[in-house]
């Protein structure tokens, strides 16, 4: 599954202080990248509001932060640069050097068998895999195995070290790539939010319901931690992103829309942020609902539609 219409921003963090510095800039534990792991995290401002969501890993003595969504580099670099005082840290937008795509796990098993002595079954979510053995000047390919859109897909990155085209590297998987609509259906199923669609800088990390994957409550201090820790101590946010199953009502003749408001009785309780059609009368969606409707099985209504909060599709 290749991301063809939803682009990616990739930032490189270099310098001898990169790990210590980035540890103070993101919500998860950067030190885990040292053990060949990819780490999901949020970038937040001083008030704990989300600026970006993505994954970080270490490659060639640099840290890489990759986030789904274009044109984030200027905003991220500007935000991060103000917190570099005397640290040996260099930030670079390397988006043009990387080609990212989701590929079905089964489609790259043969490559893994050829590249590794270990049994493929031992490869767990969270591992960072080098799919070739690059030197400092060669192109290389990595796999992020976090269950971003389920364990059946991995996020594959092809890095070009020069101006050479990466088409030759990725052409063997193009034929089996699924459509962009399938990508959105998969990410909705796995509750993967996208910036500009499901969240922006008005949201708190806990509202996106990825605490167990993207937030460490044991690491040291970081920017915005006070707000996030306080919310964790209180154990609640006022609204949260949830999975929704939507069905057409008997009197409805139109399809539901992104932004559609959700109600319990006549009280507005939430809204839809992303939709994917399953049948002519059924949709899967993600959207925000208020605390009163967070329980699995909660019943809501929209304009001619019935919505149910579900744990999975």
Q: What is the pLDDT of residues 95-129, one digit of tens each?
A: 999 999 888 887 777 666 555 555 556 677 778 88
In this structure, of 20-34, 154-168, 194-208, 262-276, the range with the lowest mean pLDDT score is 154-168
175 φ, ψ (degrees, to nearest 5): -65, -30
- Asked if pLDDT for residue 37 goes beyond 50, the answer is yes
Cβ within 8 Å of residue 285, ≥6 positions away: 188, 243, 244, 245, 246, 256, 272, 273, 274, 275, 276, 307
Q: Which domains does the chain have, with CATH numbers?
A: 8-189 (3.30.1360.120), 238-313 (2.40.30.110)
pLDDT value, residue 172: 36
- 288: its two tokens: 């925000």
Q: Find the mean pLDDT for residues 59-81.
A: 92
pLDDT value, residue 250: 80
The band of 1, judged by pLDDT with boundaries at 50, 70 and 90, is low
Strands 128-130, 140-144: pairing kind: antiparallel
Of residues 183 and 271, more confidently modeled? 271
Of residues 89 and 163, more confidently modeled? 89
Of residues 5 and 16, more confidently modeled? 16
The band of 134, judged by pLDDT with boundaries at 50, 70 and 90, is low
Query: Whole-angstrom Cα distance, residue 187 to residue 284?
Result: 11
pLDDT value, residue 122: 67
Task: Please give the helix or strand (H or E) that residue 308 lies within, else none.
Answer: strand 305-310
pLDDT value, residue 176: 40
The band of 5, judged by pLDDT with boundaries at 50, 70 and 90, is low
- Asked if pLDDT for residue 168 goes beyond 60, the answer is no
Could you read off the pLDDT of 208-222 as tens digits, one per residue? Answer: 999 999 999 999 899
pTM of the model: 0.89
In the chain, pLDDT over 70 holds for what percent of residues?
86
To the nearest 10°, the Cα dihedral for 80, 155, 126, 310? 100
The band of 3, judged by pLDDT with boundaries at 50, 70 and 90, is low
């Amino acid at each position: 599954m290749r991301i063809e219409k939803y682009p990616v921003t990739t930032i490189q963090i270099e310098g001898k202080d990169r790990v210590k510095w980035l540890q103070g800039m993101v919500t998860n534990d950067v030190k885990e990248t040292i053990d060949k792991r990819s780490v999901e995290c949020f970038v937040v401002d001083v008030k704990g509001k989300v600026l970006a969501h993505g994954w970080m890993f270490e490659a060639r003595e640099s840290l890489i932060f990759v986030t789904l969504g274009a044109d984030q580099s200027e905003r991220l670099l500007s935000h991060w640069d103000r917190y570099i005082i005397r640290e040996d840290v260099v930030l670079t937008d390397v988006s043009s050097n990387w080609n990212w795509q989701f590929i079905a796990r089964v489609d790259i098993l043969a490559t893994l068998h050829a590249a590794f002595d270990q049994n493929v079954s031992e490869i767990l979510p969270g591992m960072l895999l080098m799919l070739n053995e690059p030197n400092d000047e060669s192109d290389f390919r990595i796999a992020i195995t976090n269950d971003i859109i389920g364990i059946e897909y991995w996020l594959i990155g092809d890095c070009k070290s020069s101006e050479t085209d990466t088409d030759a590297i990725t052409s063997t998987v193009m034929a089996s790539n699924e459509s962009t609509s399938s990508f959105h259906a998969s990410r909705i199923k796995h509750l993967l939010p996208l910036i500009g669609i499901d969240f922006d800088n008005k949201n708190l990390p806990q509202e996106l319901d990825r605490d167990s994957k993207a937030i460490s409550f044991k690491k040291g201090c970081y920017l915005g931690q006070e707000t996030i820790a306080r919310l964790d101590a209180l154990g609640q946010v006022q609204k949260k992103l949830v999975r929704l199953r939507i069905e057409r009502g008997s009197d409805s003749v139109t399809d539901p829309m992104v932004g559609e408001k959700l109600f319990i009785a006549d009280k507005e309780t939430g809204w839809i942020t992303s939709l994917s059609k399953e049948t002519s009368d059924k949709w899967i969606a993600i959207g925000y609902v208020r605390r009163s409707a967070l329980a699995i099985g909660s019943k809501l209504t929209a304009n001619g539609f019935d919505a149910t909060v579900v744990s999975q599709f």
